[in-house]
Chain A
Amino acid sequence: MTDHISSGAASSEAIIQLRGVEKTFAARGANAPVTALHEINLDVPRGAILGVIGRSGAGKSTLIRLVNGLELPSSGSVRVDGVEISALEERALRQERRSIGMIFQHFNLLARRTAFGNVALPLEIAGVSKAEIRKRVLPLLDLVGLSDKVDRYPAELSGGQKQRVGIARALATNPKVLLSDEATSALDPETTEQILALLRQVNVDLGVTVLLITHEMSVIKGVADRVAVIDEGRIVEEGATYDVFTGPQHATTRNFVASITGTQLPEHLAKRLTAAPEAGKEALVQLVFKGEGAAQPWLSVLTRKLDVDLGIVQAKVDHISGRPFGTLVVSLPDVAKLPALLVTSKELGLETEVLGYA
C-alpha cells in the first residue's frame, strides 16, 4: 500500500478516459444488433469517486466492463492511466487488469475458499509466493474489518461481510482503480452505508480512484464526488454531484433527483390545487435552497422582514458532499403578500415557484 500517494483529493488529470466509445452487440439469431453505448466521453479524475447512475438496461454494466476490458468497444478509445485498454493483446490485458480491481453486486466469492483464500486468489493468479500472500492478505482483511473472519467460508458471512471480502480481494494487487458494479444493490440500507463508508475510506487512505455504477441515487449522494447520468446508452449529464443534484438539466436526472428529494405534493393537496387565487385558499410556494443561500437562517429572516405567517406544507433537506440542499413548500394565507415574498426570497438566494392555490 506504500506505493500509493495518500490523498483523497481528486486531481484534474483523468486516470480513466473514454473517448467516442460505441458498443454494439452483434446480431444473435433473430435478434437485431443492439447498440448499448453511443458516443461516450467520460473522464474520471485521479483520486475521485465517480458514480454512473442509470436505470437497468441504460448501458452502465457495459460501460464499467469496458474499463477493464471485459468488454471491448466497437469503436472509440478506453484509456486507464495512459494505457489504451482497447488495444492491448490478451496477455498484456491480463497484466493490466491487476491494476484495476473490481467488486460485484453478488460478490462473486468462491464458495469453497475461506475469506483468506478468496483474498489470496488474485495474488495466486499473479504468481505471488505463499509467504508474501500471507503478509498481504491479513492486513487487507484487517483493513476491511474482518480480522476475526479469516477462516470463515462465504456461507458463514453476512452480505455486508461478503462485500468486505470482495473489497479486500479487489485491493489485493494494489490497484490504482476500483470498479464497483452495483456493489451495494443486494444490501440493506444500513449495510449499504457501511460499505460506502469503506469505499470512501479506501479512496481517501489508499488514493484509489473509484468508478461505480448504480441505479440508486442514495449511493451517489452518499459517496460520489462526481456523477454521470446515463440514459439509453448516452451520458446525458455529468458534473460535480452537488451541482447535478441541485440543478438537474435532463429529464432522467430530474427523475432521479425527485426520487430522493420527494417534491411531489401529496395527492389530497394536488387535487385541490387551482392556478388562480380563490376565496379561502392559500398560496403554495416552493422554495429551493442550495449553495451559499442554504447556510443562512432564511426562513426566519423571511417571516420577520415581511411580517407574514407561513405554514410548512412539505420539507425535505438533504446534505450532498457536505453541503445542505433542500426543498420547502410553504403556504401563505395572506395572498396579497405573495409578490413581496417572491422578491425577498430571490434576494436571499432561493429559487421560487408558485405551485398554485389550495
Chain B
Amino acid sequence: MPEVFSPQILKLLVDSFVQTLYMVGIAGVIGTLIGLPLGVFLATSQRGELFAAPAVNAVLGLIVNAARSTPFIILVVAIIPLTRLIAGTSIGTSAAIVPLTIAAAPFIARVIEAAIRGVDQGLIEAARSMGASPLQIVQKVLLPEALPAITLALTLTVVSLIGYSAMVGAVGGGGLGDLGIRFGYQRFMPDVMLAVVLVLIVLVQGVQSLGDSLARRFDKRSRH
C-alpha cells in the first residue's frame, strides 16, 4: 500500500480528478447550452403545439437519435477531424471535451424534452388564456415548472458524462478512467485501480445527492 500512494501517484490521482471535473464540467455546460433549447423545441414543436413544426421536429429527432445510438468510443474516433478543427488538436483533455459535448447535447435534449413534457398541459392553456406568447410560456411556465425534473435530468447527464469521460483515454484525454486503465490495468497496480474506482463512486454519489437535494428544494408540489 505505501508505495502505491507515493507522492507521484497521489499527484496523478489529484490531477486526474481535476481533469475529469474539467472535462465533465465544460462538456456539461456547453452540452446544456445546446441541449436545453433543443429539448424545449423537441417538447413544443409537434403538431398543434406552441412552436408547431412537425417536419423540423422529426428531422431533429432523427439526428438526436442517431447521435445517441452511436457508441461513445466510436463517436470519439469518428469525429477526430472535427475535434481537430475545433480544439486545434485531437489529443488531450481539451480535445476530449469535443466528443463529450457532442454526446452530451442530444442526451440532454432528450431528458429536457421529457421533463418539459411532464408539465401539465392545463398550465399551457391557462397561460394562453392570459395572453402569453409562446416564448413567455416557455420562460414563465414550462421551464420554471419543470425545474425539479430538469435538475434531476441534468444530474443524470453529469453522472453519465463521468462514465463517458473514462473512455476518452483513447485520445489521450486523461482523467480518472484513463488513470485507472494505464496504471491500474496496464501497469498491474490494482491499488491505483481501486483508488480510482473509490474516488469515482464518491464523486457520483456526491453529484447525485446534490442533484436530489436541489430538486427537492425546487419541488413545491408536496410538503417536506
A143-161 vs B, Cβ < 8 Å mask (1 yes, 0 no): 0000000000111100000
Q: A110-B123, A111-B145 are in contact. Are A70 and B129 (CB under 8 A)?
A: yes
B187 within 8 A of A: no
Tell me the smallest distance from the CB of A182 to a CB of chain B, in Å.
Answer: 12
Interface size on A, residues (CB 8 A): 29
What is the interface residue range for chain B against chain A?
20 to 34
Contacts of A113 in B (CB 8 A): 144
Please tell me which one of the listed residues A68, A70, A124, A169 contacts residue B140 in the complex, with CB atoms under 8 A apart. A124
B213 within 8 A of A: no
Q: A112-B144, A112-B145 are in contact. Are A153 and B132 (CB under 8 A)?
A: no
Which residue of chain A has the shortest Cβ distance to B122 in the bound complex? A108
Contact between chains at A94 and B132 (CB < 8 Å) = yes
Query: What does DSSP make chain A's interface, helix, strand, loop or mixed?
Result: mixed
In the complex the two chains form, what is the Cα distance from A102 to B132 in whole Å? 13
Q: A112-B220, A125-B136, A153-B220 are in contact. Are A102 and B147 (CB under 8 A)?
A: no
A126 within 8 A of B: yes
Contacts of B144 in A (CB 8 A): 110, 112-113
Chain B, 81-135, CB within 8 A of any chain A CB? 120, 122-123, 125-133
Tell me the smallest distance from the CB of A17 to a CB of chain B, in Å.
Answer: 20
Contacts of A125 in B (CB 8 A): 127, 130-132, 136, 140
In the complex the two chains form, what is the Cα distance from A257 to B202 in whole Å? 68
Contact between chains at B132 and A155 (CB < 8 Å) = no
Please tell me which one of the listed residues B129, B131, B218, B220 contacts residue A126 in the complex, with CB atoms under 8 A apart. B131
In the complex the two chains form, what is the Cα distance from A257 to B119 in whole Å? 39
Query: Can you give 15 contacting A-B residue pairs, CB < 8 Å?
Result: A70-B125, A94-B132, A96-B131, A97-B131, A106-B122, A108-B120, A112-B218, A125-B131, A125-B132, A126-B131, A154-B220, A155-B221, A169-B130, A173-B131, A179-B129
> Which 3 A-B residue pairings sit nearest by Cβ, starting from the closest?
A108-B126, A97-B131, A122-B130
